[in-house]
Amino acid sequence: MTLFLDIEENLPPPIIVALNLSQNVPVHRVGNFYEENTGPGCGTNCIWNGGGYYMDTFVCGETYPSGLTFYCSSDCYRQIGKSKKVFLSYRWCDSEIANKITSSLRGVEIEIIRDINEINFLDAISSFMNTAGESRYFIAVMTESYFYSRFCMYEFYQIAKSDQIIRTIPLMLGTLLDSGIEIKLLDYWNNKHFELARAISGIDQRYTGYLQHELDLLANIPSQIKNFFEMWHAKERPEGGHWLAANCYYMIGAIKTTFKPTEDDATNWTFSNKTIRGERAEDLPPIANWKPRPFYLHAYSETESMTVTNNTQARKLILDVYHDDPTPKILPSGVHLVLINKAALSSLNFCERLQALLNREDIILVPIFLDETLRMPASETDLLRQWYDQLICTSVLAQKEKIDLMLSRFGPMIENLRNTLVPSIERIVAE
């Protein structure tokens, strides 16, 4: 599994040089005849100049008497991608660069997939990250911190293992070209894999099996980083050594040349001169669609619940408060806001109630992580160890059965809770 770095293939060298601040550079289509018939093509009537032909018309995907098949672009020849979507991968601390890229691409009507626009309130974050492997282009804002982010590396991994070819545009910034950085990154992720394997060593696999996909990811990240840097160093790049996010025009030209033309653009792809639009309605945070509503509050202790009840707006909406007690026989339907920290997850009563809430289709569960470290995958291994030790030491059969049942559900339950996008309590209850 390797990344496919090929953004210049359909962009002739003169165009690379010509793309600049003018924002009005015509990009001529690249088409050609191929001996292999690899697919139906897009069926577009193409005006092609080359091979002795001047302004002759050919149909993309049609095989001619010569036995050669004409394709208007290598995307049609290789069947690269299935959509025109561009996935933007970046670390949140680099959001300013991501904003500039987003504005530039949308200004020329290139659809971009970005977390803040795609993930709705309470949506699964993993579902969004998995769309990286379904995009035609993958733009990665690669600062050094990007390669230390587990979530960015997950998106990176989705691209590498995708069944289809996806063009990757890496924006190498900061210290990433310094010598020795690659070794530091490889050591970091190898250590992460070792630490997780050690953390769950000796715990029955029935309770840790859900972490196998995380172990596989951590084991694969170093090889993907190594493959990427090898390709990066081997690839010819425009003058300047690496692509800077400050100049988005090169990216736009590269992307536009590989998209199939519209009916009114049957001859050339062009670099649009449209004005870059400002913030659009759909760029507003997904929480904007959430209307404050009455809710039930669950917290491990009164100290934790006060973080919510001290909020004037929240206090008006709270219907009832539950602390670390056995699960009530009747849990009312509606919105249940749960405060999550390690103390709560160390309580059997609290964990049993969490599972009961998750099992109810008539309940909207809103998890608020008081302990931010628990948002990271596999961060609960010390809790797993704690519960497993209790299971081994408990001699009371009824208690042992309770802990065993809870442990078998514990890991997937935590993954379910942190897989939803939930902002702070202030934003949830704001009018």
pLDDT in tens, 201-241: 999 999 999 999 999 999 999 998 888 888 777 765 544 33
pLDDT digits (tens, 9 = 90+) for 57-99: 778 888 888 888 887 765 666 555 455 677 888 888 888 878 8
Backbone angles phi, psi at 320, to 5 degrees: -165, 155
**Domains, the chain:** 81-282 (3.40.50.10140), 290-429 (3.40.50.10140)
pLDDT score for 57: 74
pLDDT digits (tens, 9 = 90+) for 374-407: 989 999 999 999 999 999 999 899 999 999 999 9
Residue 63 pairs in a beta bridge with 69
pLDDT score at 47: 62
CA gap 204, 17 in Å, rounded: 60
For 243, half-sphere exposure in the C-beta direction (CA atoms, 13 angstrom radius) is 27
Q: How far is CA 306 from CA 301, 325, 431, in A?
A: 9, 17, 20
Do residues 241 and 215 touch, judged by C-beta distance below 8 A? no
What letter represents residue 153's amino acid?
A: M
- Render 106-135 in DSSP notation, one character per residue: HHTT--EE-HHHH--TT-BHHHHHHGGGG-
**Do the Cβ atoms of 225 and 182 come closer than 8 Å?**
yes
Cα separation, 166 vs 182, whole angstroms: 23
Tens-digit pLDDT profile for residues 35-63: 887 777 777 676 666 666 666 777 888 88
pLDDT at residue 92, as a whole number: 82
In tens, the pLDDT along 243-267 reads 443 445 556 655 655 554 443 333 3
Residues 6+ apart with CB under 8 A from 232: 5, 170, 172
pLDDT digits (tens, 9 = 90+) for 150-174: 988 888 887 777 655 566 777 776 6
pTM: 0.71
Q: Which two tokens stand for residue 54?
A: 């001047």
Exposure class string for 353-367: b at 16+ Cβ within 10 A, else e: bbbebbeeeebebbb
**Under DSSP, is residue 63 helix (H, G, I), strand (E, B) or coil?**
strand
Q: Which residues contact 317 (CB under 8 A, 6 or more apart)?
A: 292, 293, 294, 295, 429
How many whole angstroms separate alpha carbon 21 and alpha carbon 104?
Answer: 12
At 63, the amino acid letter reads T
d(CA 255, CA 15): 13
